[in-house]
A and B are shown apart, each in its own frame.
Chain A
Amino acid sequence: MSVGNSRGTRPIHLVLAWGFVGIPLLWGVLETLRNALTLFR
């Protein structure tokens, strides 16, 4: 685990961090929505 406390956060760090959690979450939401659509068919 890197510490690197003295270095600041670059925009790419934010993109990577949010992408790391956002992409799986988005996939989960889309899968759930796809299944939920059966309610309206």
Chain B
Amino acid sequence: MGVLSILDRERTIAGAGYSRWMVPPAALCIHLCIGQAYAFSVFNLPMSRLIGINHSAPGDWKLTDIGWIFTLGIFFLGVSAAILGRWVEDGGPRRAMFAAALCFSGGFLISAAGVRVHEIWAIYLGYGLIGGFGLGLGYISPVSTLIKWFPDRPGMATGMAIMGFGGGALIASPLSVWLMGKFSTPRHVGVAEAFICLGLIYLCFMLVGAAIVRIPAPGWQPAGWAAPATPKKLVTTADVHVYEALKTPQFWLIWWVLCLNVTAGIGVIGQASAMSQEMFPGRVTAIAAAGFVGLMSLFNMGGRFFWASISDLIGRKNTYFCFFILGTVLYALVPTTGAIGSVGLFVLCFLVVISMYGGGFSTVPAYLKDMFGTRYVGAIHGWLITAWSAAGVFGPVLVNYIRQYQIDHGVAKAHAYNLTMYIMAGLLVIGFFCNLFITSVNERHHMGWSRPRIAPVTE
């Protein structure tokens, strides 16, 4: 038995007296680190001045080239979550968290070397490919474990972890700026050193998560809790195999539900700063717009916990109905806020919308658990993450191109977002109908189901 056997699923089974409340911090150790991805943009400008220091010099990387680092990271997040979901389920959370820690921190260290020798392909390989695998493995690693520990409140449990992904950017952004400031000199931008520090900090943090995570013993249930005798209509007690789940219409309807909810949110996240300044010229300054973006990050994080916890009370389907109905109304209201010049109402609309964007991510693991059972929920969630990757392309493209089209056709900048807002509202209406059509999974997809024998016809 090698040293690495400590990572085995069998070695992570909790003993008597282990508190399940140790598992959310273990999950947060991972998600708070990988949530750094949302703050990667703080490195964009400094990386475009590695030679020129105060300005971009010939030979410095272009922002468009640097932009590919984040895109690759998110792309490989989706790829790894999809293809390694089954490996994560079979090997248990500790092995996955350990691998995620090595990939994510290793990605930073390789990228630091890439910055030192000024080779951008090394950063594509480091942060983009290897770090992206760390992101994907880390994102799905604690999900099914949390659901198994909290069968009474699966939404709240996964909401707590996925809230960490939103919170990770809040930590990484000021930390990265501070580190670069510490290591920069008049002749040197401190990006490489900041990468090394972040890589080592994240390695330690993620390994602590891997060390303290446990899975419940077979048959374990929370004290005083018993599975409802009559399960709710959309909550199954059976399990569906990951590859069987992909054949069900329910999986693809949830895929569209997530994709449309994320498309609507992600499109405005990237444009929030510019949109607020262009819709209220002279009233919202660049500094105030940055504050608005910061508030949106807080609501993105808080919404992940709030809405997932609410879903335990009102059900997943109803929670998504809230997102789609409320989201449609709020998006349709945004042009009016511009017309009447109400910055407060504009901010309020977007803060609620962005809380539901976060809530969409955190509620979906429990939705999958309700539909497909707990056995392969992590692996199925991994496949569903591809909806996020798709939305990451649709959302920004939709907002940017429609805005440009409007401006090219003589629409004033202050009104250039109106059509986009109505299109976003329309997307949410489609999402509403996708959610409406979700019914319980046919039992022929359940594991262990055998086709009923038809009795021979006798005379």
Residues of A within 8 A of B (CB): 1-9, 13-14, 17-18, 20-21, 24-25, 27-29, 31-33, 35-41
Instruction: Flag if A20 contacts B25 (CB, 8 Å).
Output: yes
**How distant is the Cα of A7 from the Cα of B11 in the complex, in angstroms?**
13
Residues of A within 8 A of B32 (CB): 21, 24-25
Q: Is the interface of B mostly helix, strand, loop or mixed?
A: helix
Taking the closest CB of chain A, its distance from the CB of B382, in whole angstroms, is 23
Instruction: Flag if A14 contacts B22 (CB, 8 Å).
Output: yes
Q: Does B210 contact A (CB under 8 A)?
A: yes
Instruction: Flag if B291 contacts A36 (CB, 8 Å).
Output: yes
Q: Does B412 contact A (CB under 8 A)?
A: no
Residues of B within 8 A of A35 (CB): 290-291, 294
- Given A17-B25, A20-B208 in contact, is the A8-B18 Cβ separation under 8 Å? yes
Instruction: Flag if B297 contacts A18 (CB, 8 Å).
Output: no
Residues of A within 8 A of B173 (CB): 28, 31-32
Report, as a range, how many residues of chain B touch the other chain: 35 or more
Other A-B contacts than A1-B211, A17-B26, A21-B28, 12 sampled, CB-CB below 8 A, are A3-B12, A7-B17, A9-B22, A20-B208, A24-B171, A25-B28, A25-B171, A28-B171, A32-B173, A36-B298, A38-B287, A39-B291
**How distant is the Cα of A29 from the Cα of B211 in the complex, in angstroms?**
26
Question: 7 interchain pairs (CB within 8 A)?
Answer: A1-B207, A1-B210, A18-B21, A29-B301, A36-B294, A39-B347, A40-B291
**How distant is the Cα of A24 from the Cα of B173 in the complex, in angstroms?**
12
**How distant is the Cα of A40 from the Cα of B21 in the complex, in angstroms?**
38
Instruction: Flag if B11 contacts A3 (CB, 8 Å).
Output: yes
The 4 A-B pairs of least Cβ separation, nearest first, read A8-B17, A28-B170, A39-B291, A28-B171
Q: Does B292 contact A (CB under 8 A)?
A: yes
Instruction: Flag if B170 contacts A2 (CB, 8 Å).
Output: no
Closest A residue to B177 by beta carbon equals: A31
**How distant is the Cα of A28 from the Cα of B15 in the complex, in angstroms?**
34
- Given A35-B294, A38-B288 in contact, is the A5-B15 Cβ separation under 8 Å? yes
Taking the closest CB of chain A, its distance from the CB of B205, in whole angstroms, is 8
Q: Does B19 contact A (CB under 8 A)?
A: yes
**How distant is the Cα of A27 from the Cα of B214 in the complex, in angstroms?**
27
Residues of B within 8 A of A40 (CB): 291
Residues of A within 8 A of B22 (CB): 9, 13-14, 17
Taking the closest CB of chain A, its distance from the CB of B97, in whole angstroms, is 10
